[in-house]
Structure 1
């Protein structure tokens, strides 16, 4: 029982610490690297949480494989069924929320495409005849390739060079498939509340990634900063259209984006930062994978140990479980 409680604590608390570590690491990395670190961390931590819940949910099932009567299992471990039921209930809620969020994301994308149907233009650009100020990258949908959507109101609000920045920014979103990274973090946030902070941080770094690509495309960081600031101010003054806010030019903390563009171009990680980043990623990957494997093996050993005790057969328990039993107790 002590081991199970320990697993529950780890499942609940580990993502909080790991998410904080990933966010701190992202702050010292270039935007592209930061986005991959945040997305990978969100996916791994969500997978680790689900692994723990699946393992706890299967305790009664594993007991049945060992020919243990449920009554005997409950006599030795009264919390077996409640813990498994709670894990199953949590996974059911997570599944419902995941499906609901996926439907919301698809619905948002559909509405964005409908709002862009009136747009005209060549290539990947659609100009919508609306006075509202908005611009966003519209991912591919049902055979329609991705487009950059800009309202007439936004085009009027920017100077010629600033328009180039805006278009380069949105094209960076499309080229980098940023909507997929955003969707992964968004769905992972449904699994564990700690991952919501990763999602919010990822939104900022995705915008920073696109900002840097736009600045490189026009060759002028100050112009890029001015375009971001002017677009945000114009959008705030005139209101926003029903576009695709996940990849909008005015999303994320705009003052921080402008400040970053007015500074030097971010460089790739060097020396200690590179080592710290590699170490943090390795710890996250190894911890998640080892935790899932240890959970599966440990639960099997636990049930096998319990079956031998209840059925009166020789223990023959592995050294691994003897060690755990000595550390945490047999659970009785």
Structure 2
């Protein structure tokens, strides 16, 4: 029983702590590395949650494999079936929410392309007539390549050099395929509410990534900061990133972004630091994968051991799980 409560603790508590650590870790990294770190953390936390729920859902099934009568299981652990049913229900709800969120993404992208059909093309830029002051990166859709969509109102607001900053910013979103990172974290946030904080952090770091790319293109960080500030003050794209996949230069905490552009360019990891970072991320992925496999195997072995105890039959893993039983309780 205590072992299962430990699994529930992993589902409910660990993602909150893991998300907090990931946000702090990302804050110390250059924008590009921060985005990948947050995306990886979201996938690992969501995957771990699903793995634990899947394991709890299979407890009665594992008991049946050991030819352990369900009546006998309920005598020792009355909550076995309710726990399994709750885990199965949670998995079903997560699946429904994932499908709904994905359909929302596709619907928003379709509507954005329909709205952009009125624009006039100039290379990879679409200028849409209207009084709204807006600009965003529009990912590819059904064979159409990604475009930078700018309203004529935004064109009038910005100066020539500032327009170059805005276009470079949105092109960085498209070239870096930032919409995919945003989609992955957004979908992962459906699995566990703790991941939602990673989605908010990712928005900031994605915009910072594009800000740095734009500043590099124009070669003047102050001009880039002024352009972002002017576009945000005049912009009308409120909550644009709340509805992925439209990433806009006017979204996120703009004051922090402008302040960062007024500072020297953040130095990326070099040589040994880069290799250490890659190895660290690889080790984390390997550890989580190994942990998930060990958890699934351990759950099966624990049920087998419990079956042997209940049926009065010797178990080949009694030595190992005798220790576990002592630590976690029956």
Normalising by the residue count of structure 1, what TM-score does the alignment of the two structures yield? Answer: 0.93
Asked if the contact 1:19–1:195 (Cα under 8 Å) also holds between the matched residues in 2, the reply is: yes
Q: CA deviation at 1:319?
A: 3.9
| Closer/same/farther in 2, CA of residues 245 and 67 from structure 1, 3 Å limit | closer
Runs of 4+ with deviation above 3 angstroms: 238-246, 269-284
Deviation at 1:285, TM superposition (A): 2.8
Q: 1:248-275 CA deviation, whole Å, 9 max, x = no partner?
A: 1101100011000011001013699879
Q: Aligned partners of 2:121 and 2:239: how far apart in 1?
A: 21
Unaligned runs of 5+ in 2: none
Is the contact made by 1:136 and 1:249 (CA closer than 8 Å) also made in structure 2? yes
Give the Å deviation of 1:79.
1.1
Instruction: Kindly indicate whether structure 1 or structure 2 has the higher relative contact order, using CA contacts under 8 Å at least 6 residues apart.
Output: 1
1:307 CA displacement: 1.8
**Partner SS state of residue 121, structure 1:** strand
- Tell me the alpha carbon deviations over residues 194-223 of structure 1, each in whole angstroms, 9 at most, x when there is no partner: 111000000000000000000000101000
Q: Aligned residue for 1:59?
A: 59
Describe how 1:7-86 pairs up with structure 2 within 5 A. Answer: 7-86=7-86
CA contact (8 A) 1:126 1:147 kept: yes
Structural RMSD (CA): 2.3
Distance 1:152 1:244 in 2: 23
Is this contact kept in 1: 2:136–2:247, CA < 8 A? yes
Could you tell me which runs of 5 or more consecutive residues in structure 1 were left unpaired when the two chains were aligned.
Answer: none
Alpha-carbon distance in 1 for matches of 2:262, 2:284: 33
Secondary structure of residue in 2 paired with 1:247:
coil
Q: Secondary structure at the match of 2:235?
A: helix
Looking at structure 1, the residues matched to 163 and 320 of structure 2 have their Cα atoms a distance apart, in angstroms, of 64
Is the Cα contact below 8 Å between 1:134 and 1:151 reproduced in 2?
yes
Structure-1 residue corresponding to 2:206:
206
Aligned positions of 1:94-173 closer than 5 A: 94-173=94-173
Cα offset for 1:328?
1.1
How far 1:291 moved relative to its partner? 3.1
How big is each residue's C-alpha offset from its partner over 1:59-118, in whole Å with a ceiling of 9 and x where there is no partner? 001111111111111112111101101101111111111111111111111111111000
Distance 1:111 1:58 in 2: 41
TM-score w.r.t. length of structure 2: 0.93
Task: Kindly tell me the number of residue pairs found equivalent between the two proteins.
Answer: 329
